[in-house]
Structure 1
Amino acid sequence: MSHTPTAEELRNQLIDTITAERPLTPQVEQAMRSVSREAHLPGLDLPTAYSDQAVTIKDNPTGPLPLSCASVPSVVAMMLDQLHVQPGDNILEIGAGTGYNAALLAELTGPSGQVTTLDIDSDVALHARTTLNAAGYDHVRVIHRDGLLGDPEHAPYHRMIATVGVWDIPSTWWEQLADGGRLVLPLRWRGQTRSVALVRDGDVLVSEGMELCGFVPIIGQDGERTAALDPDETVRVHHDQDQEVDAAALGRSLFTGECRESWSQTRIGGEESFDGVWLRATAYDDRVCRLEVTAKALEAGIRRPVIPVRCPMLTAGDSLAYLINRREGTDPDKPFQLGAAAYGPNGDTLAQALVTYLDAWGENRTAVPQMTITPAESVDTPTAHTIRKVESQVTVAC
């Protein structure tokens, strides 16, 4: 007779799988093994509740991305590791979701700590409140509020964590984070998202690590733009508001011009991540964006990007270059060579710049840039490469 795994067995299997890929601190691992994810996903079967995948809890009737979801458990664990919660901490979470993350935070900060979670959607806040109560975490505060406002009533906070994609750090969060406090958030810039751990030192936030991730963007920030390069929107460029993108000129170069290829000396394995190229390019270059190419465009003859739905690119005026690959060489561990596809009169120059970033990354694939963030009105402007947003300025330096 076959054995049906219990929730506890499935939970431990999931955490075993996560820790095999990424060791966790003992505190985070214990919290992940203690909190029942299924309690925050009522009605979902146990194998799905304990799979390492996101679960939508509220659809978005006006767009392709959900309004709210339960994050991928391995990403939850990674961000909790970045947060470094200590017993007795006062914690603010922006994005209540299912209440699962708030329950984990309550375990980590213990009976002497406090956890407040906010959500802009009343249905989501009610779901979190209901599941937290049912799971025995009725002491966690759940507030229906725009997360960009924070929660000044219970500030200052030793730890703040956002579980939605954030393009800019609002001044309210600066005011509510204690000096020496830690903020972990999925920060969006130049078409990418990274979970960045930041520590406050006066009026400066300094990074202590960045990890690749993806999150639904927060409601209320509009610093990101999307430009379609053709009427059918088969190719789109995602960029920041401070970047000028001439969609019509780029479209003409891409759809009627010749593609030229430039190749780096860098090779990768089939499962090797190369997102570090994108990350480190933003430390030097304001032309970095994200290219999205549909299957229809590929069928029409556009050179295939290395990842069609999210590919780093450089753009300037009527020219662009983006990341491509090919199978090259005899090394079975690194069979793919990385390069750049160029379109437009200045595309070759952009491609050579991208190849330079590729080879620099290839020489040191684990290096992570340092990020420094200051309020937008700061008098002492950083001397390194700075990305200016509405309420903050971001310096990325290798």
Structure 2
Amino acid sequence: MRTVPRDTFLPGIDLKNAYTDQAVTIKDNPGQPLPLSCASVPSVVAMMLGQLAARPGDNVLEIGAGTGYNAALLAELVGGGRVTTVDIDPDVALHARTTLNTAGYERVTVIERNSLLGAHEHAPYDRIIATVGIWDIPAAWWDQVADGGRLVLPLRWRGQTRSVALTRHGNQLVSDSMEMCGFLPIIGQNGEQTAPLNTADTLRLHYDQDQTINPDALTHTLRADNPIREVLSAQRIGGEESFDGVWLRATAHDDRVCRLEATPEAMEQALISRPATPARTPALIDDASLAYLTVTHEDADPQRPFRLGATAYGPRGEELARDLVTHIDAWGAARLAVPRLTITSSDTGDAPGHTINKPESRITLTY
């Protein structure tokens, strides 16, 4: 990362911003909340390259060309190997080709194509890395990664995104690393749904297409005049302590997990009480009932002054809140535990244990 000049890939951006640890938008998406393309946060880029563990001589496929910067980093890592980067957007692909040429990385291949198709021309690949959020793993990628090859994907399920490092073992992909992250979703996958929970669209629910959700029922549930209940867990956290593992653990065997989003306007109007992280709070949904993760400040323990719990709405809300507290307490007993994620293609038959089923893949998490 000291070798590749990031500012070359961000023309028009001053040096201070080019080397700040932040994302930089390179193509807006008018009328939409998220841009079409951006340069990822450098520390996240470094983390994912560490997960990928590309070696000299490797043949690497990148999904999502972005600025071209990540492809240049990959070119340095593989030396005499091959790097191919694919992007569906013609402007983004042209930007990447131009900046890579300017920086002296003409040997990187840039292809304008639907990234879900991969790049069969140079397959099989020793490494595949995606720089966009992936909701399902396309069959084409299975065909293009070598047995024993490695994939690093910002994988989305149950409202969260994790950068998951996977190794192919025959008809399975098995993880050995998992980190919280956030990426723009890949174009062409629509398995994650978003529904407004109030008329002002300041409260939203994000869920997967395999989940049975009735947003209209929840709209009535979240009215201000409906009673709410709170259930506290035994788990306390410090001010800088991550609790994202609660979400991850809950998804291992609970299909009711979704993401609740409260906009700044909703928080200003106090439409809901103490969501753990307003923009992305895990919640359990069952018909017209809902319970979401909360953080409450207490003075009893100055080292860990915050207590985790759940706030409940609806006829079965308190039961959902108790279930969520069970997930919180399970996380609290092993806060640093990371599950093994196993993925099989959808045509390999039923996988053992609890699975999250998607059109082209099946996901299993085990602790």
| SS of structure 2 residue aligned to 1:248 | helix
Structure 1 residue aligned with 2:308: 338
| Alpha-carbon separation, structure 2, partners of 1:345 and 1:220 | 37
| Alpha-carbon separation, structure 2, partners of 1:296 and 1:245 | 24
| Alpha-carbon separation, structure 2, partners of 1:388 and 1:206 | 16
| Alpha-carbon separation, structure 1, partners of 2:297 and 2:194 | 31
State how 1:12-91 maps to structure 2 within 5 Å. 32-91=1-60
Output the aligned Cα RMSD.
Answer: 1.0
| Alpha-carbon separation, structure 2, partners of 1:43 and 1:317 | 50
Structure 1 residue aligned with 2:133: 165
Deviation at 1:324?
A: 0.6
| Alpha-carbon separation, structure 1, partners of 2:55 and 2:62 | 15
Say whether 1:387 aligns with 2:359.
no
Say whether 1:318 aligns with 2:327.
no
Deviation at 1:236?
A: 1.0
Deviation at 1:64?
A: 1.0
Q: Conserved in 2, the CA contact under 8 Å of 1:283 and 1:385?
A: yes
CA deviation profile, 1:171-194 (whole Å, cap 9, x unmatched): 000000000000001000000000
Structure 2 residue aligned with 1:283: 252
| Alpha-carbon separation, structure 2, partners of 1:301 and 1:58 | 34
CA deviation profile, 1:274-308 (whole Å, cap 9, x unmatched): 11100111001000000012344341542231111
| SS of structure 1 residue aligned to 2:2 | helix
| Alpha-carbon separation, structure 2, partners of 1:333 and 1:127 | 49
Structure 2 residue aligned with 1:267: 236
Q: TM-score, normalised by structure 1?
A: 0.90
Structure 2 residue aligned with 1:28: none
Structure 1 residue aligned with 2:178: 210
Q: Could you tell me which runs of 5 or more consecutive residues in structure 1 were left unpaired when the two chains were aligned.
A: 1-31
| Alpha-carbon separation, structure 1, partners of 2:344 and 2:352 | 13
Q: Conserved in 2, the CA contact under 8 Å of 1:259 and 1:303?
A: no
State how 1:1-398 maps to structure 2 within 5 Å. 32-111=1-80, 113-255=81-223, 256-298=225-267, 299-379=269-349, 381-398=350-367
Q: Conserved in 2, the CA contact under 8 Å of 1:227 and 1:245?
A: no
Deviation at 1:73?
A: 0.2
Q: Conserved in 2, the CA contact under 8 Å of 1:57 and 1:98?
A: yes
Q: Give the 4+ runs in structure 1 shifted more than 3 A.
A: 295-298
Q: Conserved in 1, the CA contact under 8 Å of 2:274 and 2:296?
A: no
CA deviation profile, 1:151-207 (whole Å, cap 9, x unmatched): 001100000000000000000000000000000010000000000001000110001
Give the total of aligned pairs.
Answer: 365
Structure 2 residue aligned with 1:3: none
| SS of structure 2 residue aligned to 1:321 | strand
| SS of structure 2 residue aligned to 1:237 | strand
Deviation at 1:356?
A: 0.8
| SS of structure 2 residue aligned to 1:304 | coil
Structure 2 residue aligned with 1:19: none
| Alpha-carbon separation, structure 2, partners of 1:363 and 1:172 | 40
Could you tell me the percent identity over the aligned residues?
A: 65
Give, as a single letter, the amino acid of the residue that structure 1 aligns with 2:345: P
CA deviation profile, 1:6-60 (whole Å, cap 9, x unmatched): xxxxxxxxxxxxxxxxxxxxxxxxxx11111011111211111100000000001
Deviation at 1:213?
A: 0.3
Give, as a single letter, the amino acid of the residue that structure 2 aligns with 1:93: E
Give, as a single letter, the amino acid of the residue that structure 2 aligns with 1:175: D
Q: Conserved in 2, the CA contact under 8 Å of 1:186 and 1:193?
A: yes
CA deviation profile, 1:235-255 (whole Å, cap 9, x unmatched): 111000011111121121211
Give, as a single letter, the amino acid of the residue that structure 2 aligns with 1:216: L
| SS of structure 2 residue aligned to 1:178 | strand
Q: Could you tell me which runs of 5 or more consecutive residues in structure 2 were left unpaired when the two chains were aligned.
A: none
Q: TM-score, normalised by structure 2?
A: 0.98
Q: Conserved in 1, the CA contact under 8 Å of 2:231 and 2:321?
A: yes
